[in-house]
């Protein structure tokens, strides 16, 4: 399969040391790619370079083999920016008609496409209303319709569901799943990791403008599939050392979340366990030492966990300081 997006040591320095550095990516055509990262990590900066809105300071990017920002590359993309505003005095339909003209759609073809898209994004009944009367979620839906107007091969979506209610999020997820089935390439910037997990084939995690980790979503989820957590009470430090020795697999403690107030000796332990038998053995070892076992569960493998693990312990998350 040919590559829809390739970047080679792509870098942007806004002049204040911020932006992104040395980002190399390869996204095959037809894949859904999730770009994650804390606030200020540089995700939007990368997207802006890919769609040709800002020039790299160094490195380069290709879309279907054409330089990002070139007319040939731009013809094949749709883009929903993170922060956008349409003139409030236009109706949704008028805004779409304007964009249709920009991408060469006219007359009946344009009308058909606009009507279909307005329905698909769930604002068909409000298409003639002025945008100034739209809620944030409705504006985001309109933005999505604009991004899809030219039936692009690559869709760049920067936080497409941030203003949507749960139903809206579900609808957008379904729409994106359909686009993926149609063979479109999707580049999704999102903090909604559950959405990324359900939609994307591949993810990368950006931190401080650099790629910190990346992989296929299925591999990421498999890698954390065998972790178990145990909430125990009365666990003295020497008992923990003993447990670590007695049990061949690594056992570590999990930090408490903010606001949680553990009782004395209360801990969350985490261990990699291969099967139910090992889980039973671990439980027995704990209880034989007089430790109270309050609860145990398998860690739900999720991108959320992957993300938190990757950034935990980092001094600066997201923002270059």
131: left (phi over 0), alpha (psi -120 to 50) or beta: alpha
Tokens of 280: 């039973």
Per CB under 6 A, the list member of 5, 7, 25, 43 interacting with ligand ATP is 43
Query: Shortest gap between Cβ of 47 and ligand ATP (angstroms)?
Result: 8
Local structure of 193: helix, strand or coil? helix
* Residue 207 binds ligand ATP (CB under 6 A): no
Instruction: Rule CB under 6 A: say whether 261 interacts with ligand ATP.
Output: no
Q: Which stretch binds ligand ATP (CB under 6 A): 16-24, 107-115, 166-174, 234-242?
A: 16-24
Task: With CA atoms as reference, report the closest residue to 317 among 179, 224, 186, 191.
Answer: 191
Angle at which helix 92-102 crosses helix 107-120, to 10 degrees, equals: 130
Window of 15-23, 161-169, 192-200, 302-310 that interacts with ligand ATP by CB under 6 A: 15-23
Q: Quick check: 40 binds ligand ATP (CB under 6 A)?
A: yes
Q: Minimum distance between the CB of residue 313 and ligand ATP, rounded to whole angstroms? A: 20
- CA distances, 281 to each of 275, 288, 310 (Å): 10, 10, 30
Query: What sign has the CA pseudo-torsion 118, 121, 124, 127?
Result: negative
Region binding ligand ATP by CB under 6 A among candidate stretches 43-51, 110-118, 252-260, 266-274: 43-51
Q: Is 19 in the site for ligand ATP (CB under 6 A)?
A: yes
215 has which bridge partners?
203
Count of chain residues binding ligand ATP (CB under 6 A): 15
x/- track of binding to ligand ATP for residues 209-238 (CB under 6 A): ------------------------------
Residue 18 is a binding residue for ligand ATP (CB under 6 A): yes
- 199 φ/ψ sector (left φ>0, alpha ψ -120 to 50, else beta): alpha
Tally of residues, the chain: 321
Q: Round to whole Å and give the CA distance between 80 and 88.
A: 18
Query: Which residue number, 16 or 312, has a Cβ lying nearer to ligand ATP?
Result: 16
Residues of the shown chain interacting with ligand ATP in the complex, contacts defined by CB under 6 A: 14, 16, 18-19, 37, 39-45, 82, 319-320
């Amino acid at each position: 399969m040919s590559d829809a997006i390739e970047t080679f040591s792509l870098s942007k320095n806004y002049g204040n040391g911020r932006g992104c550095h040395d980002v190399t990516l390869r996204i095959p055509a037809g894949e859904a790619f999730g770009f994650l990262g804390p606030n200020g990590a540089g995700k939007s900066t990368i997207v802006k370079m890919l769609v040709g809105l800002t020039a790299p300071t160094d490195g380069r990017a290709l879309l279907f083999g054409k330089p990002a920002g070139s007319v040939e590359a731009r013809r094949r993309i749709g883009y929903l920016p993170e922060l956008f505003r349409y003139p409030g005095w236009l109706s949704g339909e008028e805004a779409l008609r304007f964009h249709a003209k920009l991408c060469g759609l006219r007359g009946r073809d344009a009308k058909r496409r606009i009507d279909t898209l307005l329905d698909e994004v769930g604002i068909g009944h409000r298409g003639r209303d002025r945008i100034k009367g739209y809620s944030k979620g409705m504006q985001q839906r309109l933005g999505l319709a604009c991004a899809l107007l030219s039936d692009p091969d690559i869709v760049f979506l920067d936080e497409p569901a941030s203003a949507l209610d749960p139903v809206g999020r579900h609808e957008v997820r379904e729409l994106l799943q359909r686009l993926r089935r149609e063979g479109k390439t999707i580049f999704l910037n999102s903090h909604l990791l559950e959405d990324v997990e359900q939609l994307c084939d591949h993810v990368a995690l950006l931190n401080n403008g650099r790629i910190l980790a990346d992989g296929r979503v299925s591999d990421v989820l498999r890698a954390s599939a065998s972790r178990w957590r145990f909430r125990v009470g009365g666990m003295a430090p020497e008992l923990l050392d003993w447990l670590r020795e007695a049990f061949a697999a690594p056992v570590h403690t999990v930090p408490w979340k903010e606001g949680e107030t553990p009782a004395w000796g209360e801990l969350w332990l985490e261990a990699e366990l291969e099967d139910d038998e090992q889980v039973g053995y671990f439980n027995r070892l704990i209880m034989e030492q007089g430790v109270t076992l309050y609860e145990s569960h398998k860690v739900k493998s999720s991108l959320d966990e992957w993300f938190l693990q990757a950034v935990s312990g980092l001094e600066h998350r997201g923002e270059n300081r």
